[in-house]
């Protein structure tokens, strides 16, 4: 729980730095919600972050891999975004959290552009290192 709070605080700091209110969800390795924070003024449509939990296994977007590209019509993963009762999101802003090389959970950030969400998620995960 202390680590989840540290991650949320890092996300808030980055969101304030870029001037974009955000919603931040933290889940454990089993994708169970541990913490959620919605900054004042964060986009209300994005406040579904706790119900659309980030995946502890894979980032939603990364330099080497993208669920968005993997889930396109031309792949065998097309439609994954509507599977699992809406629990899979293909937006930027979802990253696994690793502690001592092991997956401990994930962070999901929403409320800005994809680039802003990703930047805040990266700052939040960096707080764990």
Structure-derived torsion over alpha carbons of residues 101, 65, 117, 98, reported in degrees to the nearest 10: -10
Q: With a cut of 70, which residues of the chain have pLDDT below it?
A: 45-91
Write out pLDDT tens, residues 26-39: 999 888 899 999 99
Neighbours of 78 (CB within 10 A): 12
pTM score = 0.71
pLDDT at 10: 96
pLDDT of residue 54: 53
Q: Quote the DSSP letter at residue 66.
A: B
CB 27 within 8 Å of CB 121 = no
Domain at 2-126, CATH homologous superfamily? Haem-degrading domain (3.30.450.150)
pLDDT at 48: 40
Residue 60 pLDDT: 53
pLDDT of residue 95: 87
Compute the distance between CA of residue 80 and CA of residue 78 in angstroms, rounded to an integer: 6
Please give the pLDDT value at position 51: 40
Query: What is residue 53's predicted lDDT score, i.e. its pLDDT?
Result: 47
The domain ranges of the chain are: 2-126
């Amino acid at each position: 729980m202390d680590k989840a709070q540290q991650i949320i605080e890092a996300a808030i700091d980055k969101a304030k730095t870029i001037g974009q209110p955000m919603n931040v969800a933290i889940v454990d390795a089993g994708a169970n919600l541990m913490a959620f924070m919605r900054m004042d003024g964060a986009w209300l449509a994005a406040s579904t972050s706790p119900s659309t939990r980030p995946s502890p296994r894979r980032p939603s977007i990364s330099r080497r891999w993208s669920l968005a590209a993997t889930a396109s019509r031309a792949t065998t993963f097309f439609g994954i975004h509507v599977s699992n009762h809406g629990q899979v999101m293909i937006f930027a802003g979802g990253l696994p959290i690793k502690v001592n090389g092991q997956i401990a959970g994930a962070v999901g950030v929403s409320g800005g552009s994809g680039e802003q969400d990703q930047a805040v998620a990266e700052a939040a995960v960096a707080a764990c290192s």
